[in-house]
Amino acid sequence: MMVDKCSIYKYILTGLRYLKYNKPRYNSKPSLTSITFDRDDITGYNLIAGPSTLLPYCVGKGAIEEVIGVLEKLEKDEYAEYLIEYYKDGLERFGKNWVYADITTVLIGLSSIIMPENYLEVGVRRGRSLAMVLSKSPECNAVCFDMWVPNYAGMDQPGPDHVTREMKKFHHSGKLEFINGDSHETMPQYFKQNPNVYFDLITIDGDHSPNGASMDLTHALPRLKVGGAVVFDDIVHPSHPSLITVWKNYIVSDPRFISYSFTDLGYGVGFAIRKY
C-alpha cells in the first residue's frame, strides 16, 4: 500500500493532539465535557454545556427556592435572615420572572449539574456556600481555605467545628478538609503537597482585595478540571469596586473560559466553565 508523506504527517499530528489533550489533567471525567476531546481545532465541542445552558439552574425561581431550603436548615445570622426575606419578596412580586442570582443560586445550580467529586473553596465563613454544594453532592470531597478573620463583616465567625456540624445536616459523607490560615500561603503549600489533585468546582470568596483575589485565582485556576466551573463572588460589591476588573482580567478575557456575570442586583457573581 502506498502511503504519502502528507498522510504520515497528518497521522503524527493527530497522535500528538491526542496526547496533548489526554494527558492526566484531571482525576476523572467531569460532567460538562463532551465525548469529543481529541482535536485542538474543535475546542467549542469540548463541552456539552456552557453558561447559557446552565443559567436556568443557576438564576431565578427554581434555584432561589432551593437556596431558601438550604438556608432554612443552617443556623442563621442576621445576613442570612435578611436574604431569605429578600428572596421571598422577589419571588412574591415577580414569581418565575424574577431574574436574580448570587453565589448561592449559582453554586446550587452548578452543583446539581456537575455533581462535583472534588470542590475547592476559598472563604468559608459559616458554611453557607459550602452547604449549597454539599446539599447537592453529599459525597463530594471538599478542601476549604479560610483564615477565620474574627468578626468578619461585623458578624460572628464560629470556625471549622461549627461548619463541620452544619454540613452533617446535609448527610455529607465525603472528606471535609479545612486548611486554616492565609490562603495566599496555604494554597501553594497545599498544591505542593498534593500535586495530582484537580477540582470540578472552585469558589473564590476569601480575600476581597484586588491583589488578594488575583493571587487566589492565580493559584487555584490551574487546578480546575477542563469542563469544571469557577465561581467568583461580589463582582459589583460597592466596598470592593476592583473585583469586577479582577474577574474580567482573569476570566472574561481568557479564551480558556466561557463566562457569565450577573450584576443586576445584590453584590453580583460570576461563573465560568473551563473549555480547555
Ligand X SMILES: C[S@@+](CC[C@H](N)C(=O)[O-])C[C@H]1O[C@@H](n2cnc3c(N)ncnc32)[C@H](O)[C@@H]1O
Give the binding site for ligand X (CB under 6 A): 103, 123-125, 128-129, 145-149, 152, 182-184, 205-207, 212
Instruction: Report DSSP letters for 49-109, one per residue.
Output: --HHHHHHHHSSHHHHHHHHHHHHHSPP-HHHHHHHHHHHHHHHHHGGG-----HHHHHHH
- Give the residue with the Cβ less far from ligand X, 66 or 207: 207
Q: Which is nearer to ligand X, 140 or 258 (CB)?
A: 140
Long-range contacts of 92-95 (CB under 8 A, 24+ apart): 95/61
Tell me whether strands 141-146 and 118-122 are parallel, antiparallel or unpaired.
Answer: parallel
Amino acid at 150: P
Of 219 and 225, which has the nearer Cβ to ligand X? 219
When the beta carbons of 38 and 182 are compared against ligand X, the nearer one is 182
Q: Which is nearer to ligand X, 136 or 275 (CB)?
A: 136
- Minimum distance, C-beta of residue 272 to ligand X, in the bound complex (Å): 17
CA distance 230 to 251: 9
What residues have CB less than 8 Å from 186, skipping those under 6 apart?
Answer: 145, 179, 180
CB of 150 to ligand X, least distance (A): 8
Q: What is the DSSP letter of 242?
A: T
Please report how close the Cβ of residue 121 comes to ligand X at its closest, in angstroms: 7
Nearer to ligand X, 91 or 108 (CB): 108
Closer of 152 and 191 to ligand X (Cβ) = 152
User: For residue 33, what is the DSSP state?
Assistant: B
Q: C-beta of 217: minimal distance to ligand X in Å?
A: 13
CB of 140 to ligand X, least distance (A): 16
State how far the alpha carbon of 142 is from the alpha carbons of 56, 129, 194, 200, in Å: 25, 12, 14, 11
The least distance separating ligand X from the CB of residue 276, rounded to whole angstroms, comes to: 28
Q: Which residues of 183-216 are buried (b: 16+ CB within 10 A; e: fewer)?
A: bbebbeebeeeeeeebbbbbbbbbbbeeebbbbb
Question: Shortest Cβ distance from residue 193 to ligand X (Å)?
Answer: 17
Q: Which of 170, 187, 73 is nearest to 121 (CA)?
A: 187
